[in-house]
Amino acid sequence: MPGQRSVEHLMGILLYSSSQSDELLADLRKGMNSNLLNNQMVDTYDPTKASTLFALFVKNATWQVPTLTIRYARPYLKELQASNDPRLNYIPKSIAGDWGPKVDARQPTDPWIIASRKHLFQKAMEVIGSMHHAGVKLMAGTDTPNPYCFPGFSLHDELGFMV
Protein backbone atom coordinates (compact mmCIF):
# COMPACT_ATOMS: atom_id res chain seq x y z
CA MET A 1 0.00 0.00 0.00
CA PRO A 2 1.59 3.32 -0.99
CA GLY A 3 1.95 6.22 1.41
CA GLN A 4 2.95 6.78 4.98
CA ARG A 5 1.03 4.82 7.65
CA SER A 6 0.75 7.67 10.16
CA VAL A 7 1.69 11.28 10.67
CA GLU A 8 2.34 12.53 14.18
CA HIS A 9 2.01 16.06 15.55
CA LEU A 10 0.15 17.29 12.42
CA MET A 11 3.59 17.67 10.89
CA GLY A 12 3.38 19.59 7.64
CA ILE A 13 -0.43 19.72 7.54
CA LEU A 14 -0.73 23.50 7.79
CA LEU A 15 2.35 24.03 5.66
CA TYR A 16 1.07 21.92 2.78
CA SER A 17 -2.47 23.27 3.19
CA SER A 18 -1.29 26.86 2.82
CA SER A 19 -1.98 28.91 -0.28
CA GLN A 20 1.66 30.01 0.10
CA SER A 21 3.15 26.58 0.81
CA ASP A 22 5.97 26.93 -1.73
CA GLU A 23 7.13 30.24 -0.26
CA LEU A 24 6.83 29.04 3.34
CA LEU A 25 8.69 25.81 2.55
CA ALA A 26 11.47 27.83 0.89
CA ASP A 27 11.72 29.98 4.04
CA LEU A 28 12.00 26.87 6.22
CA ARG A 29 14.70 25.44 3.97
CA LYS A 30 16.64 28.68 4.35
CA GLY A 31 16.57 28.11 8.11
CA MET A 32 13.74 30.39 9.18
CA ASN A 33 12.43 29.51 12.62
CA SER A 34 9.05 27.78 12.28
CA ASN A 35 7.65 29.92 15.10
CA LEU A 36 7.94 32.89 12.79
CA LEU A 37 5.82 31.09 10.20
CA ASN A 38 3.01 29.92 12.50
CA ASN A 39 0.68 32.84 11.86
CA GLN A 40 1.40 32.77 8.13
CA MET A 41 0.51 29.08 7.94
CA VAL A 42 -2.71 29.66 9.87
CA ASP A 43 -3.68 32.80 7.97
CA THR A 44 -3.04 31.26 4.54
CA TYR A 45 -4.78 27.95 5.26
CA ASP A 46 -6.56 26.89 2.08
CA PRO A 47 -9.49 24.50 2.70
CA THR A 48 -9.36 23.29 -0.91
CA LYS A 49 -5.68 22.29 -0.64
CA ALA A 50 -6.41 20.73 2.73
CA SER A 51 -9.27 18.67 1.27
CA THR A 52 -6.97 17.34 -1.43
CA LEU A 53 -4.39 16.37 1.20
CA PHE A 54 -7.02 14.77 3.43
CA ALA A 55 -8.37 12.75 0.48
CA LEU A 56 -4.84 11.41 -0.08
CA PHE A 57 -4.64 10.37 3.58
CA VAL A 58 -7.96 8.55 3.22
CA LYS A 59 -6.89 6.88 -0.03
CA ASN A 60 -3.58 5.71 1.48
CA ALA A 61 -5.11 4.80 4.87
CA THR A 62 -2.72 7.26 6.56
CA TRP A 63 -3.68 7.89 10.16
CA GLN A 64 -3.18 11.18 12.00
CA VAL A 65 -1.89 11.35 15.58
CA PRO A 66 -2.24 15.06 16.34
CA THR A 67 -0.75 15.10 19.89
CA LEU A 68 -2.96 18.04 20.81
CA THR A 69 -2.03 17.73 24.48
CA ILE A 70 1.53 18.89 23.89
CA ARG A 71 0.37 21.46 21.34
CA TYR A 72 -1.82 22.87 24.12
CA ALA A 73 0.69 22.57 26.96
CA ARG A 74 3.52 24.53 25.39
CA PRO A 75 1.77 27.87 24.83
CA TYR A 76 -0.47 27.55 27.90
CA LEU A 77 2.32 26.57 30.29
CA LYS A 78 1.88 29.60 32.58
CA GLU A 79 -1.82 28.86 32.96
CA LEU A 80 -1.12 25.17 33.58
CA GLN A 81 1.54 25.98 36.16
CA ALA A 82 -0.85 28.32 37.96
CA SER A 83 -3.54 25.63 38.09
CA ASN A 84 -1.64 23.54 40.68
CA ASP A 85 -2.84 20.42 38.89
CA PRO A 86 -3.25 17.60 41.43
CA ARG A 87 -1.87 15.13 38.87
CA LEU A 88 1.56 16.62 39.60
CA ASN A 89 1.55 14.39 42.69
CA TYR A 90 2.03 11.41 40.38
CA ILE A 91 5.02 12.86 38.53
CA PRO A 92 8.53 12.50 39.96
CA LYS A 93 10.01 15.86 40.94
CA SER A 94 12.98 15.06 38.70
CA ILE A 95 10.60 15.23 35.72
CA ALA A 96 8.11 17.89 36.85
CA GLY A 97 11.02 20.16 37.80
CA ASP A 98 11.93 20.36 34.11
CA TRP A 99 8.47 21.56 33.07
CA GLY A 100 9.17 25.25 33.46
CA PRO A 101 10.11 27.71 30.71
CA LYS A 102 13.43 28.61 32.35
CA VAL A 103 14.59 24.99 32.19
CA ASP A 104 13.11 23.70 28.93
CA ALA A 105 14.77 25.46 25.99
CA ARG A 106 11.97 24.29 23.67
CA GLN A 107 9.44 26.23 25.74
CA PRO A 108 8.76 29.69 24.30
CA THR A 109 9.00 32.68 26.59
CA ASP A 110 8.49 35.43 24.02
CA PRO A 111 4.88 36.72 24.36
CA TRP A 112 4.54 37.02 20.57
CA ILE A 113 5.56 33.38 20.04
CA ILE A 114 3.26 32.22 22.84
CA ALA A 115 0.33 34.08 21.23
CA SER A 116 1.29 32.62 17.86
CA ARG A 117 1.31 29.09 19.26
CA LYS A 118 -2.06 29.63 20.91
CA HIS A 119 -3.40 30.74 17.53
CA LEU A 120 -1.79 27.65 15.98
CA PHE A 121 -3.41 25.37 18.58
CA GLN A 122 -6.87 26.77 17.84
CA LYS A 123 -6.33 26.18 14.12
CA ALA A 124 -5.12 22.64 14.82
CA MET A 125 -8.39 21.94 16.63
CA GLU A 126 -10.33 23.18 13.60
CA VAL A 127 -8.19 21.16 11.19
CA ILE A 128 -8.69 17.96 13.21
CA GLY A 129 -12.45 18.43 12.86
CA SER A 130 -12.06 18.90 9.11
CA MET A 131 -9.91 15.78 8.87
CA HIS A 132 -12.47 13.76 10.77
CA HIS A 133 -15.30 14.96 8.52
CA ALA A 134 -13.17 14.08 5.48
CA GLY A 135 -12.79 10.51 6.73
CA VAL A 136 -9.16 10.70 7.90
CA LYS A 137 -8.55 8.13 10.64
CA LEU A 138 -7.34 9.59 13.95
CA MET A 139 -5.40 8.06 16.84
CA ALA A 140 -4.64 9.57 20.22
CA GLY A 141 -1.05 10.22 21.25
CA THR A 142 0.33 12.53 23.92
CA ASP A 143 4.13 12.49 24.00
CA THR A 144 4.52 11.98 27.72
CA PRO A 145 6.42 13.09 29.75
CA ASN A 146 6.49 16.45 28.01
CA PRO A 147 5.26 19.32 30.19
CA TYR A 148 1.76 18.68 31.53
CA CYS A 149 1.36 15.50 29.49
CA PHE A 150 0.70 13.21 32.43
CA PRO A 151 1.22 9.51 31.72
CA GLY A 152 -2.18 7.84 31.60
CA PHE A 153 -4.15 10.99 32.35
CA SER A 154 -3.02 12.80 29.23
CA LEU A 155 -4.66 10.19 27.04
CA HIS A 156 -7.98 11.33 28.48
CA ASP A 157 -6.97 14.95 27.86
CA GLU A 158 -6.09 14.09 24.26
CA LEU A 159 -9.39 12.33 23.66
CA GLY A 160 -11.20 15.33 25.15
CA PHE A 161 -9.45 17.66 22.70
CA MET A 162 -10.24 15.34 19.83
CA VAL A 163 -13.94 15.20 20.74
Comparison of pLDDT for 145 and 70, the residue scoring more: 70
Q: How far apart are CA 74 and CA 148, in angstroms?
A: 9
Q: What is the pLDDT of residues 59-103, one digit of tens each?
A: 999 999 999 999 999 899 889 988 989 999 999 988 888 886 565
Does the pLDDT at position 2 exceed 70?
Answer: no
| Model pLDDT, residue 159 | 96
| Model pLDDT, residue 143 | 87
The whole model's pTM is what?
A: 0.90
Reduced DSSP (H G I as helix, E B as strand, rest coil) percent helix, strand, coil of the chain, to 5 = 55, 5, 40
Q: How far apart are CA 28 and CA 73, in angstroms?
A: 24
SS3 45: strand
Q: How far apart are CA 90 and CA 117, in angstroms?
A: 28
Helix H or strand E segment including 24: helix 21-29
Q: Which of 54-58, 107-111, 132-136, 139-143 has the lowest mean pLDDT?
A: 107-111
| Model pLDDT, residue 35 | 80
Rounded to an integer, the average pLDDT of 109-127 is 92
Does the pLDDT at position 148 exceed 80?
Answer: yes
Sign of CA dihedral 34, 163, 109, 145: negative
Question: Which range, 43-47, 74-78, 139-143, is most confident?
Answer: 43-47
Residue type (1 letter), 120: L
> What dihedral do alpha carbons 103, 109, 115, 116 form, nearest 10°?
-80
Number of alpha helices (DSSP H) and beta strands (DSSP E) in the chain: 9, 2
Does the pLDDT at position 1 exceed 60?
Answer: no
Domain edges within the chain: 6-10+45-162
What is the average pLDDT score of the chain?
91
